[in-house]
Amino acid sequence: MKDMTYPPAEDFVGHAHVDADRYAEMYKQSVTDPDAFWGAAARERLDWIEPFTRVKDTNFTLGEVSVKWFEDGVMNVAHNCIDRHLPARADQTAILFEADDPETPALHITYGELHEKVCRLSNVLLAQGVMRGDRVIIYMPMIPEAAYAMLACARIGAIHSVVFAGFSPDALANRVNDCGAKVVITADHAPRGGRRTPLKANTDAALLHCSDKVRCLVVKHTGDQISWIDGRDVDVKAMMEQVAPDCPIRPMNAEDPLFILYTSGSTGKPKGVVHSSAGYLLYAAMTQQYTFDYHDGDVFWCGADVGWVTGHTYIVYGPLANGATTLMFEGVPTWPDAGRFWQVIEKHKVNQFYTAPTAIRALMGQGTGFVEGYDLSSLKVLGTVGEPINPEAWNWYNDNIGKGRLPIVDTWWQTETGGHMITPLPGATATKPGSATLPFFGVQPVVLDPQSGAEITETACEGVLAIKDSWPGQMRTVWGDHERFEKTYFSDYKGYYFAGDGCRRDGDGYYWITGRVDDVINVSGHRMGTAEVESALVAHAKVAEAAVVGYPHEVKGQGIYAYVTLMNGEEPSDALQKELETWVRTEIGPIAKPDLIQWAPGLPKTRSGKIMRRILRKIAENDYGALGDISTLADPSVVEDLIENRKNKG
């Protein structure tokens, strides 16, 4: 079957930053002479306090992995996102804030105001003894203060780590402890979809498991009653009024860490992905501009949460580095009803809109009635990220939101990559529904044979996706564990960065991401390690063993399927199922709640005791014909049992 191809929209030809020829020319230079390409980009796009003399110094050899860009340059990220824009943009809106409740008036925070807020918050942090290199946890609602906090850290050289507000106290405590944070910045409550998450209460619970030196800075956002510990808790807004409205920037080395962001892997606890200052910012700025074809004066809306990398790069750093107007939305797509996204787009005349396939599918399920009646004519580009987009969702987005006239950029990237890696550029790339298309500048994707690790040179092929050489936005290390960094990304396929995804390349050289090839699952675009959910389950007193796999889910993309073996003497029941669901919610957070729990008297194991996940995946998918060889199992009869139980679940 021939794939549908959509040529670049006519409106873009001649107006976009790059057309097809320019893309080819720039791409070629970016990979044949990365020093010239990135050196020029960094000089042009960033302000330097001390210029760099060296562009790229990177090594993917196992045992010597090291990634450095512009390493002797000195700069400051907050200066690049705020101060340098002031002469031209002091009165331009930097952050456009749309609250959860549609009745609450939107806020237009100008670059001038952003400067003052960030300076004041920087001074509050300094007054708490936060110094260059110290870690600050940000556990916040989607409010401007979250962005102020990130930028204040950048201003004074502290390293922030944003923890998604949907995570539980335990998950928060683990992150505070892993990075040795000095301060947690939180808020009283996070309103979302008409409900409120008690962030301060969660933080109180988390801090019981942390050093008593950790300070708690609280933004009083909803004004609801909260408990207060004198001497530990600080009222951020009140303090911001008392400190000076200006704060000098701290000159930082290009390679100083800007932030840590925890993400799930296939084994063990979440790892702290470390991103640099200059390389990350340059890559964020460049991808935001080119991928969305952002032009001065446009209103840009990335609908992600700042708790994920997408929010870091495309709500805060990329747009602000470009002097853009970035929309920050506190709410959810389906509240008060499934027209909320479209209402916000109409209200603020949004030009570029970026969301996830899971949101599109959820809205698609509500019918087109919620779209009709809104004026979406301001839109120029639509984006998607987080998981492969199925053709139904792509077509729905294209027909109903893009009205068949807008480019859709399906952007493949990861927390580890800092910014887009494989993506169409409007005006340059013909798109095919379901394909992330072609690499961004400087990115050299390769398809490897999963068994031999050899690079497949035929254009049309299938295998695992890896990247041949470094790009400035690449993560630098795992916080506190460089060995884990090397082992996770550089040991399976020597000499490459291994992304963990499978992919297909078609005859036109287009990349089609087929999903994770490791034990990471993608639930509503949220990355989840199956091992994390398993260890939460087995921490329950009644659970002897658990195995977790992903299975196809209509809206979420993948759902969480848990096989649970109970302790001797424990009986399966609906009540116990509820209890386990609640347990996982409190151990990790609501996003980790199993969608299906199957009681398993036994799990399929090899004679050496290794759980055969391949079999469990197939059973969860209701695909019993392709179980493969089960003769190596210690007790093949458990499989029959599991299949019987699976069938009962429908």
Which residues bind to ligand WTA, rule: CB under 6 A? 263, 308-310, 385-388, 410-415, 436, 499-501, 513, 515-516, 522, 527
> Is residue 411 marked as binding?
yes
Task: Report the distance separating Cα 256 and Cα 70, nearest Å.
Answer: 11
Is the Cβ of residue 397 or residue 413 nearer to ligand WTA in the bound state? 413
Is the Cβ of residue 387 or residue 534 nearer to ligand WTA in the bound state? 387
| Nearest alpha-carbon partner for 292 in 602, 12, 44 | 12
> Is residue 516 marked as binding?
yes
Min separation Cβ 305 and ligand WTA, Å: 11
> Is residue 263 marked as binding?
no
Min separation Cβ 422 and ligand WTA, Å: 8
Give the CA radius of gyration of the chain.
24
Is the Cβ of residue 166 or residue 386 nearer to ligand WTA in the bound state? 386
- CB–CB of 358/390 below 8 Å? no
Q: How far is CA 12 from the centre of its chain?
A: 28
Min separation Cβ 78 and ligand WTA, Å: 23
Task: Report the distance separating Cα 44 and Cα 51, nearest Å.
Answer: 12
> Is residue 64 marked as binding?
no
Is the Cβ of residue 144 or residue 500 nearer to ligand WTA in the bound state? 500
> Is residue 540 marked as binding?
yes
Min separation Cβ 117 and ligand WTA, Å: 27
The DSSP code sequence of 515-572 is EESSSEEEETTEEEEHHHHHHHHHTSTTEEEEEEEEEEETTTEEEEEEEEEEPTT---
Task: Report the distance separating Cα 95 and Cα 189, nearest Å.
Answer: 21
> Is residue 414 marked as binding?
yes
Min separation Cβ 27 and ligand WTA, Å: 19
Min separation Cβ 581 and ligand WTA, Å: 23
Query: Count of CB atoms within 10 A of residue 490's CB?
Result: 21
> Is residue 361 marked as binding?
no
Cα distances (Å, whole numbers) of residue 412 to 376, 387, 438, 500: 25, 8, 10, 12
Residue 100, C-beta contacts closer than 8 angstroms, at least 6 positions apart: 191, 192, 193, 194, 330, 331, 332, 335
Is the Cβ of residue 263 or residue 355 nearer to ligand WTA in the bound state? 263
| Nearest alpha-carbon partner for 562 in 554, 572, 570 | 572
SS (H, E, C) 445-487: EEEECCCCCCECCCCCEEEEEEECCCCCCCCCEECCCHHHHHH
Min separation Cβ 419 and ligand WTA, Å: 9
> Is residue 192 marked as binding?
yes
Phi, psi of 124 (to 5 degrees): -65, -45
Is the Cβ of residue 134 or residue 416 nearer to ligand WTA in the bound state? 416
Task: Report the distance separating Cα 501 and Cα 616, nearest Å.
Answer: 20
Min separation Cβ 474 and ligand WTA, Å: 13
Name the burial class of residue 372, with classes exposed (0-12), middle (13-18) and buried (19+) by CB atoms within 10 angstroms of its CB.
Answer: exposed
Min separation Cβ 439 and ligand WTA, Å: 13
Question: Which residues are 605's β-sheet partners?
Answer: 611
Examine residue 336 and say whether the peptide bond preceding it is cis (omega within 30 degrees of 0).
yes
Phi, psi of 57 (to 5 degrees): -145, 90
- CB–CB of 551/558 below 8 Å? yes
- CB–CB of 249/152 below 8 Å? no
Min separation Cβ 520 and ligand WTA, Å: 7
Residue nearest to ligand WTA (CB): 415
Query: Count of CB atoms within 10 A of residue 196's CB?
Result: 16
Task: Report the distance separating Cα 140 and Cα 189, nearest Å.
Answer: 8
> Is residue 410 marked as binding?
yes
| Nearest alpha-carbon partner for 496 in 49, 61, 3, 32 | 61
> Is residue 323 marked as binding?
no
Residue keyed to tokens 């045992």:
63
> Is residue 193 marked as binding?
yes
- Tokens representing residue 66 in the block: 């090291």
Is the Cβ of residue 287 or residue 325 nearer to ligand WTA in the bound state? 287
Task: Report the distance separating Cα 545 and Cα 539, nearest Å.
Answer: 9
> Is residue 194 marked as binding?
yes
> Is residue 529 marked as binding?
no
Is the Cβ of residue 157 or residue 383 nearer to ligand WTA in the bound state? 383
Residue 311: HSE in the Cβ half-sphere, 13 Å Cα cutoff: 26
Is the Cβ of residue 73 or residue 442 nearer to ligand WTA in the bound state? 442
> Is residue 501 marked as binding?
yes
Min separation Cβ 232 and ligand WTA, Å: 33
Sign of CA dihedral 28, 293, 525, 266: positive
Is the Cβ of residue 270 or residue 386 nearer to ligand WTA in the bound state? 386
Is the Cβ of residue 97 or residue 314 nearer to ligand WTA in the bound state? 314
Is the Cβ of residue 169 or residue 311 nearer to ligand WTA in the bound state? 311
> Is residue 386 marked as binding?
yes
Is the Cβ of residue 308 or residue 583 nearer to ligand WTA in the bound state? 308
Min separation Cβ 457 and ligand WTA, Å: 23
> Is residue 120 marked as binding?
no
> Is residue 543 marked as binding?
yes
Min separation Cβ 440 and ligand WTA, Å: 12
Task: Report the distance separating Cα 255 and Cα 67, nearest Å.
Answer: 9
Known binding residues for Mg(2+)? 538, 540, 543
Known binding residues for ATP? 386-388, 410-415, 501, 516, 527
Known binding residues? 192-195, 310, 386-388, 410-415, 501, 516, 524, 527, 538, 540, 543, 585
Known binding residues for CoA? 192-195, 310, 524, 585
